[in-house]
Amino acid sequence: MGSRSVRKNKEFVHQLNPTINMASSEEHTFENEWRRRFDEASETPPLAMWERIEARLDEEEEERVLVIPFWQRTQSLRWAAAAAVTALLLTLGGWWFQSNLSEPPSKTATVVAPREKTTATTTNELTQKSQEGEKIQNDSKLASGAIKENHNETEAKHPLSRSSAETTAATAVVRKEAKKAGQTPAAALVASVSKKATSSKVNTSTSPENQLSASTPSNGRGGAKTEINVTHESETLSTTIASSEVALAASPMEPNTAPEMTLAFLEGKKMRELLGNPKRQPWVAPPSQPTEALKPKLLPKEYWASVGVMPASYNAGVEIGGRGALAAASNTPLYSSQATFNNSARTPTATNRSALSYAFQWQGGVQLSQRWSLESGVNYLQGNSIYQGVNAFSTLSNSYINSLETAINLSDNNIPRYDFATIGSDKSLVQTLSTSQDISNSYQFLQVPIQTGYALIKPKRKFSLWLLGGLINNIFLKNTFQTGQDNTVTVTGNDSPYRRLSFSATTGMRLQYKINKRWTTLLSGNYQRSVGSTTRAGAVFQARPQLMGVGAGVRYGF
Amino acid sequence: MKDERTLVEGCRNKDRIAQRTLYERFAGRMFAVCQRYTRSRYEAEDVLQEAFVKVFTQIHTFRYDCPLEAWIKRIMINTAISYLRKEKAYLDQADVDDYADAVSEGETTLSGMEYQQLLGMVRELPAGCQSVFNLYAIEGYQHNEIAQMLGISEGTSKSQYARAKQLLQAKILETNNTNSS
């Protein structure tokens, strides 16, 4: 190109012109004449041209940096995202309240009983533990069987006329409990809304009678503190908290079910601020000049529908134990003994192995701008996992029972608990054999994802690359697992230990190749992690599934 | 020349002042180039903007092996050609059989013509003819090079040029006759 350009440069041509004119024929005159007239030509471009070029250069440079200036993009989208999250949290909160308020009052007994046990185990030496065994067993019996009696007994253990020193000690235990359950400590002393909610809740479950008779001067210390904090709140908030407290007091909840609760409280006040925090700056973003030309072009919204299949690696993340409610059940020697020789493998990662799973995906979405999309749909997930459990022989049922089976049976409302209490009360009935068993454990979920996509590579040409993130509503359908006898058992229905609805956070990347105007092929990588346990609050085991998958699909644009 | 080198280095460092200086130095002449490859001022502006963005984003590939102006001009021409290709301006690339049926030279002098008149004539040429005429007559490329640039055959390039020349000569004659009468 260079030499050619030099040759054709005007000076060069002009130097040659005399010789050309003299030597060659007239056929060059036509070209030379035109060339001379156009070579020197100059026209003034419009004044705004430079601004247009500069704006384009800014845009190009911004793309090259490849930052995700999430907080600085269009205002409307930011509010749309905030609104979507708020709506989701409201649904979540509403569902949580509904499902928990309708729980039977027997929860009180199951919550309080473990606390008594914990106090006992922390204050006594291991040698004393055996002496206490009988009492604990009795407690457990009461917890699982005679609910009303237990409740009375608990009340008796929480006298209103307790000395202040004792109450402080009790508060300390509560705090410890809350910590153990992964919660914010019972912070009747801290002035944060969510913490206060937790603390009042904990207090409620510790001694419900205190809360109910909060106006009487003979209050326990913890209850009084909560009251003071509530009155210090702003008017509107105090009303909210007070009303929810009444609800809580009417039907006390367990401290370990608080994550959603905390979120729901946060949402009302802080979430909007959190999302739209104007001070948040992406650290690599170049300082952009606010010119009009910089405003992103708004394209007409494009709708699409897609189908896909995703082979995945699914880990059920089952962990037996670790929750307050478990203690009641763990008093049974069957569970205790299993827990003893299962201790080395109590972390969920060590006891679960993922197995090949798959998901079918039907999704739809709308492309809001060149960068953003909003997507939803329905997935059917078949999640297979292996739980490395323990197999034990029960002389009562004359059969082998494995640890997962026991945990599920203990948590299942459909199975009468006294069976297990009976088993538990008589150690001789259970012969523990230290055999481990790989238990096949599979789940079926219907998933409703709500996610947003951000184009890392804009869909200008054939290829585009998207970053995805959002929430998945998991609707529990079925759990199938192997029993100690190598049979399979199916757990389903509303009374199963599993929550009907649980949530997962999801993130992923998707590569898109546009075949033609309508059809696009999709290749995606996806990671999902359950937010909290998929089991109910009262279950003696937890499941926190994780999923990693690579999917393929096709999309049709409307 | 040293000044030009400083300017290029500034542009490589994405210095907005250097970029603006370079733009202002060449914008006028380059806008004229864009004008004769396109059919309207609006199209010419589009090409000019696109080409200058390319100049600044590709400035690191400039090796000082030709004058800067020639390099920039080449980018303008290439951008114009791909712009026209997008606009399907090459659909009328039919071979012209009456090749080299030239009008006599003496009567086609441009001496009395205004630049704007000439530009108008070039713009009125059929799309295929216009580019070939610009590339051959004004830029001085050979037909085989033009064929490569436009993705057409050498024969097509020659015939298109012949037609362009014929049409232009006819127009000049007509204008000269109108002026003299």
ipTM: 0.88
Taking CB atoms and an 8 Å cutoff, what residues of chain B touch A1? 66, 74
- Record: contact A35-B137, CB cut-off 8 A: yes
Nearest CA in chain B to A56: B53
The candidate with the shortest Cα–Cα distance to A401, out of A423, A425, A426, is A423
Report the alpha-carbon distance of residue A410 to residue A215 in Å, rounded.
39
Distance from CA of A515 to the nearest CA of B (A): 19
Confidence at residue A52, expressed as pLDDT on a 0 to 100 scale: 92
A218–chain B Cβ distance below 8 A for any pair: no
Confidence at residue B73, expressed as pLDDT on a 0 to 100 scale: 94
Angle between helices A258-269 and A193-206 in degrees, nearest 10: 140
Residues B150, B129 contacting (CB under 8 angstroms) = no
CB-CB neighbours of B75 under 10 Å: 19
Confidence at residue A126, expressed as pLDDT on a 0 to 100 scale: 43
- In this structure, what is the dihedral angle of CA atoms B27, B32, B34, B37, given to the nearest 10 degrees? -170
DSSP single-letter state for residue A299: P
Taking CB atoms and an 8 Å cutoff, what residues of chain A touch B110? 33-34, 37
Contact residues, chain B to chain A, C-beta under 8 Å = 14, 16, 19-20, 23-24, 27-29, 31-32, 35-36, 45, 48-49, 52-53, 56-57, 63, 65-67, 70-71, 73-74, 105, 108-110, 113, 115, 118-119, 136-141, 145, 165, 169
Token pair in block for residue A219: 């209050």
Q: What is the pLDDT of residues A101-125, one digit of tens each?
A: 654 444 443 344 444 444 444 444 4
A67: three-class secondary structure by DSSP = coil
A149–chain B Cβ distance below 8 A for any pair: no
Report the alpha-carbon distance of residue A102 to residue A247 in Å, rounded.
11
Q: Which residue has the higher pLDDT, A302 or A20?
A: A302
Which of A80-84, A157-161, A434-438 is predicted least confidently?
A157-161
Which of A26-30, A177-181, B172-176 is predicted least confidently?
A177-181
The predicted model gives B15-34 an average pLDDT of 94
Average pLDDT, chain A: 63
A57–chain B Cβ distance below 8 A for any pair: yes
- Record: contact A60-B49, CB cut-off 8 A: no
Buried-state track B136-151, b at ≥16 Cβ within 10 A, e below 16: bbbbbbebebbbebbe
* Residue of A2, A29, A56 with shortest CB distance to B66: A2
A513: CB partners within 8 A, 6+ apart: A462, A463, A520, A521, A523
DSSP H or E stretch at residue A529: strand A519-531
A65–chain B Cβ distance below 8 A for any pair: no
* Residue of A7, A34, A53 with shortest CB distance to B137: A34
Residues A269, A524 contacting (CB under 8 angstroms) = no
- Record: contact B45-A8, CB cut-off 8 A: no
pLDDT greater than 50 at residue A193: no
Token pair in block for residue A293: 């030309």
A307: three-class secondary structure by DSSP = strand
pLDDT greater than 80 at residue B32: yes
Q: What is the pLDDT of residues A506-527, one digit of tens each?
A: 999 999 988 887 889 999 999 9
Q: Which residue has the higher pLDDT, A282 or A393?
A: A393
Select from A3, A12, A34, A289 the residue whose CB has the most chain B CBs within 10 Å, as the one to mutate to test that interface. Answer: A34
The predicted model gives A230-241 an average pLDDT of 43
A216: three-class secondary structure by DSSP = coil
pLDDT band at A136 (very low <50, low <70, confident <90, very high): very low
The predicted model gives A398-405 an average pLDDT of 69
Token pair in block for residue A418: 């006294």
Token pair in block for residue A94: 């509403």
A54–chain B Cβ distance below 8 A for any pair: yes
